[in-house]
Chains A and B, each alone.
Chain A
């Protein structure tokens, strides 16, 4: 099993729709979880951290399921500007502080 797995997509979604991404991780000792957004030819930027109780930021909701070792990202009322690649990031709090990036899920919002 890969350390962090994401569906590569692309997800082609009409504007205004709701879209959900899942990400699974293999290391049960992982402590911190993030969703990053990467636009074409740009650096990854933090979209949101993912907390155990789940958290929401505007149209974006992130959930963590430690028992099943997956995190999710829900985007409601999608906008054209949401088109990007979404990276799942898992960080382990140990001596090496390993940070593992998923390969990303591409999202295309269609007008």
Chain B
């Protein structure tokens, strides 16, 4: 079971460069999320999607764009990378919450350094 797969796992970017992080899930989940995690800050939601073709802003969306063209994929783009975007990025997916506690599954993370 692949679950949630993120690529790449590690990347070093120069300030101003662009890149895309890919998240793929094979569990037929409707919902997908992109988080960033910084020391002492916990997980912060960047963008999320409740279905194919839909996206929405989370807590810290500035400097990022996303697309959900296919149900199984959720792409996170950095158009012009800044050192403040150095972080660990986690993708997650789940079914909609039915009140019975549907689990949120995470990818292994993508370590991004912007120099």
Contact = CB atoms under 8 A, between A and B. Distances in A.
Interface of A: 31-34, 41-46, 49-51, 87, 89, 91-93, 96-97, 99, 101-104
Interface of B: 31, 33, 35, 40-43, 45, 50, 56, 88, 90, 94, 96-109
Contact of B103 (A34, A51, A96, A103): A34
A93 B100 CA distance: 10
Contact of A31 (B90, B97, B108): B97
Contacts of A31: 97, 99
A30 to B, nearest CB: 10
A95 to B, nearest CB: 9
Given A46-B104, A46-B105, A93-B98, 6 more contacts: A31-B99, A32-B97, A32-B99, A32-B100, A45-B106, A89-B104
B85 to A, nearest CB: 19
A101 B97 contact: no
B97 A91 contact: yes
Given A32-B97, A44-B43, A103-B42, A97 B106 contact: no
A91 to B, nearest CB: 5
B50 A46 contact: no
Given A31-B97, A32-B97, A93-B97, A46 B103 contact: yes
Q: Is the interface of B mostly helix, strand, loop or mixed?
A: loop
Contact of A32 (B33, B101, B105): B101
A7 B22 CA distance: 33
Nearest to A51: B101
Contacts of A41: 88, 109
Contacts of A32: 97, 99-102
Given A43-B106, A89-B104, A103-B41, A96 B56 contact: yes
Contacts of A46: 103-105
Given A42-B109, A43-B108, A44-B106, A101 B43 contact: yes
A94 to B, nearest CB: 9
